[in-house]
Structure 1
Amino acid sequence: MNTLTYKGYTARIDFDERDNLLVGRLLGLRDRVSFHAENVADLRAAFIEAVDDYLETCAHIGKSPEKPASGRLMLRVPPEVHSAALIAAQAAGQSLNQWASQVLKDAAQSRAPLDQRYQRGV
């Protein structure tokens, strides 16, 4: 998956073959925020503009902008997976929450973003 990140917001980037456009959509929000461009440089600018516009619009209408994630995660898994994860966490000397957080972080970081420079909100 190709992504861009700016000010804590991440967008998924896809190619629309029919219209020959790069298309992005902010992830993790109920509000739908999207943008598009014909090349990568213009796409980066459109992404930044979309995030800034979203934040400005929220401020203008008096709405708190959604954040992509709260840090709380409710996860349902089969009992045998829960048991195996609990054993793995205990074997690592961690709580299940600490262990699962690290496993999820490692899995999420294994995906290469479209442009590393935008990962820190540049």
Structure 2
Amino acid sequence: MDYLEYKGYKGTVEYSKEDNCLFGKVIGMSQDVILYEGQTLDELRSDFEAGIDDYIAGCIAEGVEPRKPFSGRLNLRMPSELHARVASLANSTGTTINDFINKAIIHELDHHCATS
């Protein structure tokens, strides 16, 4: 699936059969919602970019920092036994749990991309 991208924000591209239009929303924004639509891809992209520009302008007007999608913080839940195993292995290799999990995720993503 392709996405629209603008100023570090990524948005979906979807089609509504019922409304006969394209629509989408910016992904990774857990507290703010940015929606857009259009009859053509050019209209969709234009509304997407305008929505982001409006969001940023609104934040600036209110004196708040615009949120970026995917803050880099992830609350991960796992069984306590797995947590203990990860902590033990991370400690034995001289790394943090966070670094260990990041490396494991990168390894899995690289493996997935190589087989796709």
Equivalent in the alignment of 2:38: 37
Unaligned runs of 5+ in 1: 111-122
1:78 aligns with 2:43: no
What number of residue pairs does the alignment pair up? 112
Equivalent in the alignment of 1:11: 11
1:66 and 1:38 map into 2 onto residues whose CA distance is 28
TM-score (norm 1): 0.66
Equivalent residues of 1:21, 1:36 under 8 A apart = yes
Equivalent in the alignment of 2:58: 57
Q: Which has the higher contact order (CA 8 A, sep 6+)?
A: 1
Q: Percent identity?
A: 32
Unaligned runs of 5+ in 2: 112-116
Decide which structure has the larger Cα Rg and report it. Answer: 2
Deviations 1:56-113 (A, max 9, x none): 11112222211213322220012455467668878x9865423422444566789xxx
2:107 and 2:65 map into 1 onto residues whose CA distance is 30
TM-score (norm 2): 0.69
Equivalent in the alignment of 2:25: 25
Letter in 2 for 1:39: T
Letter in 1 for 2:33: R
Equivalent residues of 1:23, 1:37 under 8 A apart = yes
Equivalent residues of 1:2, 1:14 under 8 A apart = no
Displacement after TM superposition at 1:49 (Å): 1.4
User: Against the structure 1 CA distance between its residues 6 and 81, is the aligned structure 2 distance closer, same or farther, given a 3 Å change threshold?
Assistant: farther
> Per the alignment, in what secondary structure is the counterpart of residue 13 of structure 2?
strand
Equivalent in the alignment of 1:67: 68
Equivalent in the alignment of 1:120: none
Letter in 2 for 1:64: E
Letter in 1 for 2:62: I
